Amino acid sequence: MKIAFDKFDSDHTKTISAQEIKDLLCNSKSVKPDVIKAIIKEVDTNGDGKVSFKEFVAMMKKNLL
């Protein structure tokens, strides 16, 4: 999971921002900003607007199990 997380965390801040999700998923054009915000809101349990590794792991476990 760390390798997958690191693919999103392109600026190496140990969090995934909305822009990083947008950049990796759609080359910044095909996914609407509201969709990205919904992804962050669902995964971001501490409300800081970013996805930490802990939040990423929880999301992956929830969606893979």
Name which residue leads in pLDDT, 13 or 23: 13
Residue 20's domain comprises: 2-64
Q: How far apart are the first and last CA of the chain?
A: 14
One-letter amino acid for residue 57 of the chain: V
- The token pair that represents 48 in the structure block: 């800081």
Q: Are the C-beta atoms of residues 11 and 20 closer than 8 Å to each other?
A: yes
Q: Name the pTM for this structure.
A: 0.82
Q: Which is it for the CA torsion 9, 23, 18, 30, positive or negative?
A: negative
- The token pair that represents 32 in the structure block: 């609407």
| Domain count across the chain | 1
Checking if the pLDDT of 64 tops 80, the result is no
Give 41-59 pLDDT, tens digit per residue: 999 999 999 999 999 999 9
Name which residue leads in pLDDT, 23 or 17: 17
Chain-centroid distance, C-alpha 42: 10
pLDDT band at 34 (very low <50, low <70, confident <90, very high): confident
Checking if the pLDDT of 28 tops 70, the result is no
- pLDDT of amino acid 36: 85
Domain CATH number, residue 19: 1.10.238.10
